Copies of this chain bind each other. A is one copy, B any other.
Amino acid sequence: MVSSGGRVPATLESVAAAAGVSRATASRVLTGSPRVSEAARDKVLAAASSLAYVPNAAARSLVTRRSDTVAFVVCEPEEKFFSDPFFATVLKGAHRIVAAHSLQLVFVVVATDEDRDQLERFAAGGHLDAAMFVSLHGSEDMPARLDALGLPVVMAGRSLDPGAAGLPVVDVDNAQGAGVATRRLVERGCRRIGTISGPTDMAGSMDRLDGWREAMAAAGRTPHEDDVVTGDYTVEGGHEAMVTLLDRGPEVDGVFCANDLMAAGALRAIADRGLSVPDDVAVVGFDDIPVALATQPPLTTVHQPIEELGRRMAQSLVTSLVAGEPAPQHVRLHTHLVVRGSA
């Protein structure tokens, strides 16, 4: 408490002096080395606390060659991602685990090739000990590039980049989730079931589309290509896509949307047409974010454990960082259907 507004930074040197021991011993105590006597330990600890000692991060990092920093990388060429609560929830989960291990989380956005190079040198410069990736589009190569630098890496969902094959992934069974959603529509008695898919350059989108296709086939349906419209995971995109779907086939009476935001947009398009949900058109979403409760009617949707996704990614990095063990190659989380009013 001595130096509250303290202008004196207190170094290991001063702590050692105050404790009447050498710098080496003080260091041993502070890093938790076992080879120190009780007495010395007590004196050092007392001195450190009375001087409000805080180890200098840079100095430590310089010699340990670790930054105790983990990156949360958002690969977002189109910046739509941010308005999706999905993103914040993953971040929250990741932060929780990372903080519990006294690591710091740096937030990085990669949109341009310049950003990519900058991130790579950032990592090469020793700023980073590991990185987790979210919202991977197309053949994003940053996971592979950082992996090549020797950093532990993990991705939320597969990457379409061939170079990323074999890197740790945390995801849910998108195809299965989509299948459950589609089956709900079938069992409800929908005659013509369409789908609004996510961007075609994202693995998860494609898996959900496949899930829809498979479930349709399993139900003996042979969907027309007109019943598939590609969206962009936004409310507006979902609205537009639904308009298209309705224009192409006014008899559509069931729709599986690849995320809740698009489902919310679809709901609005349906209402604009004077149609009612779920009687005229039943709608199922994916994610189960808060907006699913705010729509009219509330959304029937495929729940995925978003926060846990973030936790598991962080856990994966911590495992290979702290424990030094290899990270699990693929963690797959479970989804389940939450039935509300829209289907």
Contacts and interface: CB of A to CB of B under 8 A. Distances in A.
From A79, A96, A127, A261, residue with most partner B Cβ within 10 Å: A127
Interface stretch (A105-113, A174-182, A224-232): A105-113
B106 A92 contact: no
Secondary structure dominating the interface of A: helix
B56 A126 contact: yes
Contacts of A264: 291, 294
Interface stretch (A117-125, A199-207, A245-253): A117-125
Contact of A91 (B4, B82, B291): B82
Contacts of A91: 82, 107
A55 B291 contact: no
B104 A127 contact: yes
A329 interface: no
Contacts of A239: 293
Contact of A88 (B88, B267, B271): B88
A86 B309 CA distance: 21
Interface in A131-184: 148
A236 B91 CA distance: 22
A294 B261 contact: yes
A261 B292 CA distance: 12
A151 to B, nearest CB: 12
A121 B55 CA distance: 9
A235 interface: yes
B104 A106 contact: yes
Contact of A85 (B61, B79, B84, B148): B84
Interface string A43-71: 00000000010111111011000010100
Chain copies in complex: 2
B79 A293 contact: no
B289 A271 contact: no
A291 B291 contact: yes
Contacts of A104: 106, 108, 122, 127
Contacts of A83: 85, 88-89, 289-290
A254 interface: no
23 contacts: A5-B148, A55-B125, A57-B126, A57-B127, A58-B58, A58-B61, A58-B67, A58-B126, A69-B106, A72-B107, A82-B92, A83-B89, A96-B109, A99-B109, A102-B118, A105-B108, A107-B107, A234-B290, A235-B291, A236-B293, A261-B290, A265-B294, A294-B295
Interface of A: 4-5, 52, 54-59, 61-62, 67, 69, 72, 79, 82-85, 87-89, 91-92, 95-96, 99, 102, 104-109, 115, 118, 121-122, 124-127, 148, 234-236, 239, 261, 264-265, 267-268, 271, 289-291, 293-296, 298
